[in-house]
Amino acid sequence: FDVTAFGARGDRADVQTAEFQSAIDACAAGGGGTVVVPAGTYVVGAIWLRSNITLHLEAGATLMGSEREEDFPVWRSLWEGPGPMQSRVPLLAGEGLENVAITGRGTIDGNGAVWWERHARDHDCPRPWLIRLVDCRNVLVEGVTLRNAPFWTLSPLACENVTIQGVTIVNPADSPNTDGVNPDSCRNVRILNCHIDVGDDCITLKSGKEDDGRQRFKACENIAISNCTLVHGHGGVVIGSEVSGSVRNVVISNCVFIGTDRGIRLKARRGRGGVVENIRVSNLVMEGVLCPIVINLFYGCGNPSPESVDDRIVRPVDSTTPRFRRLRFSNITATDAKYAAMYVLGLPEMYVEDVALSDVMIQLDKNSSESGKPAMSPVVEPHCRSGCIVRNTRGLVMRNVEIVNQLGEALLVTDSEAVSVAGLIAPTASPGPAVRLRGVRDADIRGIRAADGFDCGVNVSG
């Protein structure tokens, strides 16, 4: 089904939404097939996809989002919880579909600048996603280029069997909330061979927010992310902070991170609840990332109550207490990191459990400064060029880890249990010890290779 046979013209002159919708609906009425978009620029508003449809954009074809607000009707849909929230119908939308695909070498351009300007004037102004699929099965997005998303770019919610492959996503570095790919409460997702350069997180895994996430949404689970280049943005691969339905069984491998604020970032806070577990991260290269590895259970999001960011008091454990465990990081090289090598902060009532690093080298940037430094946490703020900072953790294992150019300790562990370190290399001397343990129980530290100039190899207190 060629859209031009339904009156669509790729001349960028008029809004062609009705013509595209007619082609898609006719294809669906015929039992399914492929809707072909030839080369040209087609201005469109919100388009609804159907089951058993492939929307194929040929090379040179561009879907350009309309500038008119009325072409993206106000829409109430699920979004992170709690309950339906007011937004706008995405440029490409689908709910309750099966066997839906968006393919080709063409481009989908959300014309986001007009929406970013509206957002700057009114932060409550709802903006459309670029692509939004809810409760769909057997989803494929392949080969296309996605640009200038008004809001999140590619957002599957409560979907199953999703493949996102060979996709290029480019949004300006200063564009607000233009995340790349945001699987939320999805199962069996593969994100492969993609290039993502955006103004917020490149890839984020979520599973709903607080009571709504625990009751309505399922876990985000069985996720494979590989062979991707992740550029700029607030985080390369992020889990959270909306993890109330839990996130589990995630593999992140063979990726390159360039200039993201954080590399791998796991975040939540009291009140979110949920379990983040069975995360495997391997074979990564990072360059110019502010902090390569961040695990933070005091993330200050969503107007947190004062007690949710008070790290000194042990709070009761219940369904609202987040839990992070079984996290593995291996074969990672990070150069020119700006502010900290690694940052792990659990709750005093719920330690981060079973964190292991092996064959990891993190080199801090000797030229980095405090100027313009973003806050890492409302609780513990590392100084510029910190080494590995760990607090409220049980079962930390480090094997063959090298920290270069840090200021202060290469490893600082506070208020933690069961720490095992073997083969830590700290070739850059700094005042103080190479390793500091403060309030730590059951530690096994061996094979420290520290440069001359440290006050000592290991300092124990508390």
- Return the residue matching tokens 């809004």: 15
CA distance 353 to 445: 18
CB 33 within 8 A of CB 67: no
**Residue of 197, 200, 201, 261 with catalytic role:** 200
Q: Which amino acid is at 141?
A: V
CB 385 within 8 A of CB 406: yes
CA distance 269 to 345: 11
Angle at 321 between CA 316 and CA 325, to 5 degrees: 120
**Residue of 234, 261, 311, 354 with catalytic role:** 234
- The DSSP bridge pattern shows strands 411-426 and 449-450 to be parallel
CA distance 213 to 288: 34
Buried/exposed 424-451: b ≥16 CB within 10 Å, e otherwise? bbbebebebbbbbbeebeebebeebebe
234 is catalytic: yes
123 is catalytic: no
**DSSP of 239-272:** E-S--TT-EEEEEEEEEEEES-SEEEEEE--TTT
CB atoms within 10 A of CB 20: 24
250's tokens: 């995630």
CA distance 195 to 202: 9
Q: How far is CA 405 from CA 137, 261, 435, 455, in A?
A: 48, 19, 14, 16
CB 85 within 8 A of CB 62: no
Catalytic residues: 200, 234
